[in-house]
Amino acid sequence: MKKDKQIQMKYIKPKSVNKILMRFRDKIGELLSRKNDRGFWHDFNKYYAERNTPFINKSNLQQDKNYVMEQDLEKVAIELIQIALFGRILQTDDEDNIINMPENSLPYFMKQTIGKYEKDLYDINSQAVFMNIYEKNTAKKKNKNLNMIRKVVSHNRRKVK
């Protein structure tokens, strides 16, 4: 009788949720600084499915595991940004047309007027605009909570690295 090969199982150690959330925050900030709203107007899930191969996903090499984790973080970060910008995760058909937007709806970057003035918003980064508005409003109110949040974030940033 042949001895059955014993399969050595490796257990995946869980990661700290707080550290993962901090990495999401950093990834979202990085993506928002590099792209405008138009840069997120595509089906990233289709691109992600084409890019990741089963060979890399099943690999036990540490560099492949790190690569897959970074790609997954980027994918989820882009999905969160799409939900914030467009109210949904975008999906396309075979001809790369967005298929899941409500009827008679366009994203904000396609708007051509603000009130009675014509304004091309094609290159707008609405999240940066929202942050500027938020900063101005909180500066006027002298919001102490915002300063407290900044202290906590900077303290955690030093701990994570």
The answer to whether residue 4 is domain-embedded is no
In this prediction, residue 154 carries a pLDDT of 62
The answer to whether residue 145 is domain-embedded is yes
In this prediction, residue 25 carries a pLDDT of 92
In this prediction, residue 138 carries a pLDDT of 66
The answer to whether residue 109 is domain-embedded is yes
Nearest to 119 by CA among 133, 104, 129, 134: 129
The answer to whether residue 6 is domain-embedded is no
Helix axis angle, 17-34 relative to 62-86, nearest 10°?
60
The answer to whether residue 7 is domain-embedded is no
Three-state DSSP state, 21: helix
Is residue 81 within 8 Å of 127, Cβ to Cβ?
yes
Please give the helix or strand (H or E) that residue 65 lies within, else none: helix 62-86
The residue type found at 36 is: N
What is the model's pTM?
0.71
Residue in the block written with tokens 């467009």? 86
**Rounded to 5°, angle at Cα 21 from 58 and 44:** 55
Segment 62-113, tens digit of pLDDT: 898 898 899 899 999 999 999 999 999 999 998 988 999 998 888 877 777 6
In this prediction, residue 151 carries a pLDDT of 60
- Number of domains comprising the chain: 1
Q: Dihedral through CA 154, CA 24, CA 67, CA 37, nearest 10? A: -120
Q: Which residues contact 63 (CB under 8 A, 6 or more apart)?
A: none
The answer to whether residue 40 is domain-embedded is yes
Residue 146's domain comprises 17-160
Segment 33-55, tens digit of pLDDT: 888 888 999 899 888 887 767 77
